[in-house]
């Protein structure tokens, strides 16, 4: 069975800043956003930050929280897998659930990944995302 790598690896890689190890080790770090107070790399980042509305960022944050829960659930289960096939089934299931969560929240995986990538590079956008996370947690 082929894992939909275009979904699971993009979402997981984008969500988690640690390098992605093969599925057997599946070690991921928490979401990494640009640090507060850091300088954007260029003026384009400032323009990009304005491209995301607060409503869209709130939707993004809800999806991030749900995707993180799914990720943790499957990481816990992945350690108990007894074969590569079982790991692949679990990863496929995780990818499906993550994709469903992103879509349920009214986003595409591409848009979700785009926002995350910008928040990892842009301190102002990262600060806005953190603010919405604090409001929801």
pLDDT in tens, 35-70: 665 555 555 555 566 789 999 999 999 999 999 899
CA angle 120, 7, 72 (to 5 degrees): 70
CA angle 115, 121, 124 (to 5 degrees): 80
DSSP class of 12:
H
- For tokens 């809800």, the residue is 62
pTM higher than 0.75 for the full model?
no
For residue range 68-96, list pLDDT tens digits in order.
899 888 888 888 888 989 988 888 899 89
- For tokens 């995301």, the residue is 52
Sorted by where each begins, the domain ranges of the chain are 5-16+42-136
Distance CA(134)–CA(26), nearest Å, equals: 27
């Amino acid at each position: 069975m082929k894992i939909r790598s275009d979904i699971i690896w993009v979402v997981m890689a984008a969500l988690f800043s640690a390098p992605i190890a093969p599925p057997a080790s599946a070690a991921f770090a928490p979401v990494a956003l640009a640090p507060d107070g850091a300088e954007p790399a260029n003026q384009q980042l400032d323009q990009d930050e304005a491209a995301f509305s607060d409503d869209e960022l709130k939707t993004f944050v809800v999806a991030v929280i749900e995707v993180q829960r799914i990720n943790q659930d499957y990481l816990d289960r992945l350690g108990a897998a007894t074969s590569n096939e079982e790991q692949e089934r679990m990863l496929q299931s995780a990818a499906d659930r993550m994709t469903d969560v992103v879509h349920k929240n009214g986003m595409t995986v591409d848009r979700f990944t785009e926002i995350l990538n910008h928040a990892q590079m842009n301190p102002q956008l990262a600060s806005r995302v953190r603010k919405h996370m604090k409001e929801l947690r």
